[in-house]
Amino acid sequence: MQAASASNFIKKTTRELGFDFCGIARACFLEEDARRLDTWLNKGMHGQMHYMQNHFELRVDPTKLVPGARSVITLLMNYYPEVVQPGDALQVAKYAYGNDYHELIRDKLKTLFKKIKENIGDVNGRGFVDSAPVLERTWAQHAGLGWIGKNGNLINKQQGSFFFIATLIVDLDLEYDDPFVKDYCGTCTRCIDHCPTEAILPDKVIDGSKCISYFTIELKDALLPGNMKGQFDQWLFGCDVCQDVCPWNRFSKPTTEAGFKPLPEILEYTKDDWEALTEEQFSIIFKDSAIKRTKYAGIKRNLRFIQ
C-alpha cells in the first residue's frame, strides 16, 4: 500500500474507533526538546517524579522505542464532560470524571494496530497512552494537531485542550502532515495569572513541583507541604484551572465516548460525602477510575489538607 493510501486508511480507522483527531509526523530525534527537558530536570521542576529522569534517550528519540521507526501517529480523544461539578463542590479534574482513560484508549490502540497489520502489512510498532517516555504533545504539534500553550497543554484550534493524547510509533513510511507552527496564545496570560500556586512560568515552562495536580496525585508523602496550605482552591484530585480559564476552551464540545460519562458520585458528592467515604466504598466506586491512582489514603490526605 502506498504511503498516501496507508495514511488515509489509518485516519479513517481512527475515526471509526472514536478518536477525534489524527496526525502523522516523521520519526526523528527531538533535539530542541532534549535541551529543554535537560534544563527542566536540572532545575528540579519534576519534584519527586523521579521517573521523569529515567529513559532520557527514549523520550527524545522514537527509534530507541521502536527500532527502525519511521512515523509517529498521534491521536486525540476528547474528554470534555457534558455536565460539570457544582462550583462549591470539592473539585476533581475533568479527565477523571469517568473510566480510566489508560485502559479505554489502550484497547483502541491495540485494535488500530491490529487493523494496520491486517490491511497494510507486517508492520512493527508500539502504542503509548501517557505511561511511557514519549513527548506526546511535541509529536502532536509536529503532526499538525495544535500548538503547545503557555500552560504546557496542547491546544487544538477547533476544540481547545480537553483531550487525551495517544501515540503509535511504527516502522512504516507514511504521508506526513504539516507541523503546526503558529502560536495562537498571543499576549493572553490568563493561565499564568489564574494558576493558584504560580506553577506556570514564562516561556511555556511549568514548574511541576508546584502544580496542584502534582501534589494531589503524584506526590506520595503522607503529608502535603505546609507552605501550600490554602492555595489549592478546593481541588481534591488534580486541577483544571489553567484549562478552565483558557479562551480556546470555549470551543470545547461534550465527548461522545460513553466510557468518559461522569460517575454520579463525582457530580453529586458533597464534602460530607467525601469525609464519610470508607476504604471499601472507595475501592468499589472508583475501581475503574483514574482516581484510584492516588489511593484511598491519598484522597483522605488531600481532603484534610484543603479543609
The stretches in the chain having pLDDT less than 50 are none
DSSP state of 22: E
3-state SS, residue 6: helix
pLDDT of residue 55: 60
64: CB partners within 8 A, 6+ apart: 57, 58
DSSP secondary structure of 133-176 = S--HHHHHHHTTS-EE-TTS-EEBTTTBT-EEEEEEEES---PP
pLDDT of residue 6: 97
pLDDT of residue 53: 59
Task: Provide the residue ranges of all domains of the chain, joining segments of one domain with +.
Answer: 1-307
pLDDT of residue 33: 73
**Could you tell me the three cell numbers for 47?**
519534584
pLDDT of residue 50: 59
Where in the sequence numbering do the catalytic residues fall?
Answer: 130
DSSP state of 216: I
pLDDT of residue 166: 97
**Could you tell me the three cell numbers for 130?**
501517557
pLDDT of residue 138: 94
pLDDT of residue 307: 83
3-state SS, residue 224: coil
**Could you tell me the three cell numbers for 220?**
506520595
pLDDT of residue 47: 67
Other CB atoms within 10 A of residue 213 CB: 18
38 phi/psi in degrees, rounded to 5 = -60, -45
